[in-house]
Chains A and B, each alone.
Chain A
């Protein structure tokens, strides 16, 4: 079997890429994709540990995460489309009216 460590490392790398993507990328869609990447990296870690511990609970949790991710994407994309209608841009730097 592939050692769990590799899975976890891959998960970490993917998570980091996702985080970096959220922080750096300006296009809202790409930010969403990065968020998805983070969520999926968490999924990968969960599956790996489920396999390692022979506990199916981890895989159940994955389903929860996928559902939440799907819901979040739905709401987020809807918001993004609404914003795009008004602001005609997907550049998140320009959506700053809710400032202090």
Chain B
């Protein structure tokens, strides 16, 4: 068995091969989709096999690892290009290849007739490969390769229709693509600094010790960093580990779309819907949560940063939920919803609930992918409308889609016994009992209420009432699109079993990696947890019903394309603020982008051309020119003035000699 550990390298290899085939060889749309899906399926199979090997007692090691080659070698600075496969990796890889595979199959039908389907599948495969490299990397630098790799694929796929001037609801794909990459880059820069800091103290970027390279692993030595400080001069000193974790937090904020760097995700909806499902719901955005989970030994030692993580997570969860409640575009609701749910995960890991965070990561991956894919079916079925004001009454014309969407939506709201209920409950319970932070728990419960509200609103707007736009004839998706939906719906229903309180399969499985304290279920805890769950369910049920009722019954006549939401009358500016994502985009546009542009123009045209070049470089040149000009006056061509100068010169020289002696 140990001799087979190398097969883990096949997991990212297959999708990479798929990318190369699709990028250079394949020209046919059908072949492209087939090859891409098969590659991901193969990856999935190898993942399962690797999990079996990992679990097998014959292996004897806590993790499977293979080093492909030595990436960088400068004296003692050594970085490997190697993979590691432990339980945390396994769980992520399952999600990536499993849900990814379903989305690939779905895409075969969804992207039929697209202008460049082969390139789409190439990028999709490349994305899966990069994401797998991210979760399988045995060191931070290789993780970073995957990290930026998924950022690149995000750029490529959001900008898949780069030639279009705008897509609903008015986004320019090319701009959205650049925005995604640049905003992510801010986080990436922070991660670069964190890596430099870690290496400077630990002498290694490897997570675990690597004998071949002769480098230690830094994760188990996190405690060593605890007493090192960075001197910030007038700002005092900051613990190195706090600095590192804070920098990582910034990176997570970018990749996992937290406040204040989430702005790229709503615009990312400009890409094809399966892309939104895969990248912006199930996988890439979860990379941040994975980063924290992987580095939990660092975060456990950095008390100060935890406060920030929780604050950012809570803020993001709540604000994004309110924003989701005000959107008209079906995908934008889901985008803000993703941001909000990521906030839940971030809060969980911030409070040390790594298992809870991973649990929600998995369930969310399932039901959010389901929702996005179902939304894609709706978009296709309603002839490319995305504005919910143009929908309505689809539960009768698209019954299967309605049912799967409902399952996903109820899971999102956190209705018992769907997956989302269990994972959210886990987080809230951990916040209240595990981390002793009732404030966070209450805020999360309120956010769940808002979540349920917008879920109800969306269900009502899309499926209930009468079809408001009659330009299309709604139809169900074909089987290639429908089957993945059904599978995901099934998984959403049973997903809660992964980590049911009491059985806690996931926790047990992840324990070797995450080393979390076991939950002790004494009577107090059981009663408390049930009480919390009941209260949350009540809030959620109530809010959900209100949301549904308002838009299926009360306001149903007042929903018209071009008109505002009826609640604007009561909530006014509050509603409008939420609708524009609480002004972050506006802020960046006015305070960051425009001044940046102005300064750039100033530096280029004025400071550089006239200042540095004009004064410092041309200046001496002009000075010499002017001196020459003035000296030229003496060469008048006037013989008499020459003669005078002779005379004066002679007198001076003779006089010097005469008076010297």
Contact = CB atoms under 8 A, between A and B. Distances in A.
Contacts of A24: 640
Contacts of A22: 640, 643
A22 to B, nearest CB: 5
A19 B647 contact: yes
B637 A96 contact: yes
Interface string B620-634: 000000000001111
A13 interface: no
A44 B600 CA distance: 80
B28 interface: no
Interface string A45-66: 0000000000000000000000
15 contacts: A19-B647, A22-B640, A22-B643, A23-B644, A24-B640, A92-B639, A93-B638, A95-B639, A96-B636, A96-B639, A99-B636, A100-B631, A100-B634, A100-B635, A100-B636
Contacts of B640: 22-24, 26, 92-93
Nearest to A28: B639
A19 B647 CA distance: 8
A97 interface: yes
Contacts of A23: 640, 643-644, 647
A24 B647 CA distance: 13
A26 B640 CA distance: 8
B637 A97 contact: yes
Interface in A1-28: 19, 22-24, 26
Nearest to B631: A100
A100 B630 CA distance: 10
Interface in B641-661: 643-644, 647
Contacts of A97: 637
A26 B643 CA distance: 12
Nearest to A35: B643
Nearest to B646: A22
Nearest to A24: B640
Nearest to A92: B639
Nearest to B638: A96
A26 to B, nearest CB: 8
- Name which of A26, A95, A97, A99 has the most chain B CB atoms within 10 A of its CB: A99
A100 B647 CA distance: 20
Contacts of A26: 640
A39 B633 CA distance: 31
A19 B643 CA distance: 9
B541 to A, nearest CB: 98
B624 to A, nearest CB: 15
Contacts of B638: 93, 96, 99
Interface in B402-435: none
B592 to A, nearest CB: 56
A97 B635 CA distance: 10
Contacts of B635: 99-100
A40 B489 CA distance: 125
B638 to A, nearest CB: 6
A22 B643 CA distance: 7
Contacts of B634: 100
Contacts of B636: 96, 99-100
A73 B640 CA distance: 18
* Closest A-B pairs by Cβ, 4 of them: A100-B635, A99-B637, A96-B637, A100-B632
Contacts of B639: 92-93, 95-96
Nearest to A22: B643
- Name which of B632, B633, B634, B643 has the most chain A CB atoms within 10 A of its CB: B643
A87 to B, nearest CB: 13
A16 B545 CA distance: 121
B323 to A, nearest CB: 76
Contacts of B644: 23
B628 to A, nearest CB: 9
B69 to A, nearest CB: 71
A98 B640 CA distance: 13
A43 B253 CA distance: 101
B632 to A, nearest CB: 4
Contacts of B631: 100
A28 to B, nearest CB: 9
Nearest to B640: A23
Nearest to A97: B637
A92 B634 CA distance: 17
A49 B227 CA distance: 100
A8 B550 CA distance: 127
B637 A98 contact: yes
B160 to A, nearest CB: 69
Nearest to B635: A100
A96 B626 CA distance: 22
Nearest to B634: A100
Contacts of A93: 638-640
- Name which of A19, A92, A95, A96 has the most chain B CB atoms within 10 A of its CB: A96
Given A23-B640, A96-B636, 18 more contacts: A22-B640, A22-B643, A23-B647, A24-B640, A26-B640, A92-B639, A93-B638, A93-B639, A93-B640, A95-B637, A96-B637, A99-B635, A100-B632, A100-B633, A100-B634, A100-B635, A100-B636, A100-B637
A95 B642 CA distance: 13
B76 to A, nearest CB: 67
A96 B638 CA distance: 5
Nearest to A98: B637
A22 B635 CA distance: 18
Nearest to B633: A100
A83 to B, nearest CB: 11
A95 to B, nearest CB: 7
Contacts of B643: 22-23
Nearest to A25: B640
Interface string B156-184: 00000000000000000000000000000
